[in-house]
Homo-oligomer: A and B are copies of this chain.
Amino acid sequence: MKVDSAGLDVLSRGECLELLSSTPIGRIVFTDRALPAVQPVIFCLDGEDIVIRTDAGSKLAAATRDTIVAFESDEFDPRTHAGWSVTAVGHARGVHDTAEIDRLSALPLAAWVPGEQDHFIVLSTQQLSGRRLRP
């Protein structure tokens, strides 16, 4: 197992994807009026892509239109201090193709908030890195 300069285990791409498929919650990092912004999102994987569902009129939909964003998910146990985090940096795009929207609509992507969640964002995981903290 590779270890980074802080003493954390470095996860492989396969391990990162496996961990991402184990949790429904992540955070998307974007720019809002030239300031850094971060928002929790419900997501699921579609192959190696991250798929998020939002309102077409949302700030998130506008901010992730054909741009580079970061995405993070993690799980830590405050008692044992064990856990992991995975970060993806890649190209985000809104989905407008009807066939693709139909296909993505079948993903197990639950809406946690009320309101229309009619807009899909697909984020490629070009850069994927992860760390595991052992207890």
Residues on A lying within 8 angstroms of B by beta carbon are 5-8, 23-25, 27, 29-31, 35-40, 55, 58, 68-72, 74, 76, 78, 81, 85, 87, 89, 110, 112-115, 133
Contacts and interface: CB of A to CB of B under 8 A. Distances in A.
Contact of A76 (B40, B58, B71, B87): B40
A27 B29 CA distance: 10
A4 to B, nearest CB: 10
Given A35-B70, A39-B87, 11 more contacts: A7-B114, A7-B115, A8-B113, A25-B78, A27-B38, A27-B74, A29-B37, A31-B36, A36-B89, A38-B70, A40-B72
Main SS of the interface on chain A? Answer: strand
A36 B74 CA distance: 17
Given A8-B113, A115-B7, A36 B29 contact: yes
A36 B70 contact: yes
Contacts of A74: 25, 27, 40
Contacts of A37: 29, 70, 87, 89
